[in-house]
């Protein structure tokens, strides 16, 4: 039993690197998404009669937009590319896990750490773009200077938590099915697969929501402080 | 008992204890959260959407403590660094 798809190695170049299942299945997911999106967006129309595929894409974009608007209480335009990409990538790789032989790339700690690190860098990028570098750095010494180390620790630990949460959830799904296959081979693993599908979708949603909350809190906290000072 | 047997015994025992204790806390926490959310939905059915969404995010954050314990257990059982170290020591 493999605890992570990193251990399934297809090609090994000693001293140079190796091509493992994580990389290959990430490529599969990327290729699938890019291929589907390119083939749909190649013939977009703004007429009243649209193809059903364009309808599907528009629905997805509108749903994500609405969610971002409800959670962040801001216009979704600037957050949509980042949050939407993360959500759709994780969702696709989690849902594809039902295919036999496919092990989801999100079940590997390397993928989830990469995703969490991109959120980790997106927070200051969006914060600085919104508030300027001075105001963003000042948010680290809110409410007092003594909170500086705790703010920094919080920033790092939530990135770690983001990575380990997604990894643990996806890995537990595969491990539980693998263990149950040894105990009750026929029917029960199917039920656990269904449960794994639910967890996969929920985890994709939660990763995206948490990323959004972290990103908006960097700009939102500043705004709230100003409002509070204005009231005084 | 030699080092290898000791590492194996301690790892397996601690893996079980980690899972046992680590699932009690999140279970109690999730139960309280769900009970409270059901109460709120019963009182204000109009806000069911918002409550459910917040509930799911909150549940996932509570559950992640259990997931951390699970990850530690899996590392202890299947990718134990101490076990690997003693195996490599014994191989010499």
Query: How high is the ipTM of this complex?
Result: 0.73
Helix, coil or strand: residue A52 = helix
- Domain harbouring B81, CATH code: 1.20.20.10
Contacts of B30 (CB under 8 A, 6+ apart): B59, B62, B63
Q: What is the pLDDT of residues B56-70, one digit of tens each?
A: 888 888 888 888 898
Whole-model pTM? 0.83
Work out how many domains chain B is built from and give that number.
1
Tokens of B43: 């009182």
In the block, tokens 């109460």 appear at B39
> What pLDDT is attached to residue A225?
56
B71 to chain A: which residues are within 8 Å by CB?
Answer: 164, 167-168, 171
Return residues 55-74 of B near A (CB < 8 Å): 56-57, 60-61, 64, 67-68, 70-71, 74
d(CA A83, CA A89): 10
Work out how many domains chain A is built from and give that number.
1
Q: How far is B72 from chain A (nearest CA, A)?
A: 10
Whether chain B has a CB inside 8 Å of the CB on A167: the answer is yes
**Mean pLDDT in residue range A74-82:** 87
Distances (CA, A) of A130 to A76, A119, A136, A152, A182: 14, 16, 9, 20, 53
Q: Residue A220: which domain range?
A: 5-231
d(CA A171, CA A153): 26
Q: Which residues of B39-48 are buried (b: 16+ CB within 10 A; e: fewer)?
A: ebbeeeeeee
Q: What is the pLDDT of residues A14-26, one digit of tens each?
A: 777 788 888 899 9
A175 to chain B: which residues are within 8 Å by CB?
Answer: 74
Q: At what angle do helices A80-95 and A188-231 cross, to 10 degrees?
A: 160
Whether chain A has a CB inside 8 Å of the CB on B9: the answer is no
Asked if the model's pLDDT at residue A231 lies above 60, the reply is no
Q: Residue B85: which domain range?
A: 3-91
Q: pLDDT confidence of A228, banded at 50, 70, 90?
A: low
Q: Do B67 and A206 touch (CB under 8 A)?
A: no
Q: Do B71 and A209 touch (CB under 8 A)?
A: no
């Amino acid at each position: 039993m493999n605890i992570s798809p990193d251990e399934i190695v297809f090609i090994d170049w000693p001293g140079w690197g190796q091509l493992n299942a994580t990389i290959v299945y990430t490529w599969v997911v990327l290729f699938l998404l890019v291929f589907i999106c390119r083939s749909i967006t190649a013939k977009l129309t703004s007429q009243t009669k649209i193809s059903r595929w364009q309808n599907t894409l528009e629905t997805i974009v509108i749903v994500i937009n609405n969610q971002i608007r409800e959670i962040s209480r801001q216009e979704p335009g600037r957050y949509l590319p980042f949050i939407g990409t993360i959500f759709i990538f994780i969702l696709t790789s989690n849902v594809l896990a039902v295919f036999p032989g496919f092990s989801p790339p999100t079940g590997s700690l390397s993928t989830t750490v990469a995703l969490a690190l991109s959120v980790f860098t997106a927070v200051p990028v969006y914060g600085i773009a919104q508030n300027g570098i001075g105001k963003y750095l000042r948010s680290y010494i809110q409410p007092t200077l003594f909170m500086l180390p705790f703010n920094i620790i919080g920033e790092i630990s939530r990135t770690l938590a983001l990575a380990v949460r997604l990894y643990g959830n996806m890995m537990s799904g595969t491990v539980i099915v693998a263990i149950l296959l040894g105990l009750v081979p026929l029917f029960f693993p199917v039920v656990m697969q269904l449960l794994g599908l639910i967890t996969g979708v929920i985890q994709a949603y939660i990763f995206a929501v948490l990323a959004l909350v972290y990103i908006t809190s960097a700009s939102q906290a500043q705004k709230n402080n100003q409002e509070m000072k204005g009231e005084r | 008992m030699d080092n290898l047997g000791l590492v194996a015994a301690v790892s397996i025992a601690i893996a079980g204890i980690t899972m046992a204790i680590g699932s009690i806390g999140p279970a109690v926490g999730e139960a309280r959260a769900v009970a409270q959310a059901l109460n709120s939905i019963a009182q204000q059915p109009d806000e069911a959407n918002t409550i459910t969404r917040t509930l799911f995010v909150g549940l996932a954050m509570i559950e992640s403590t259990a997931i951390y314990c699970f990850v530690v257990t899996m590392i202890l059982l299947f990718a134990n660094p101490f076990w690997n170290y003693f195996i490599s020591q014994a191989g010499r």
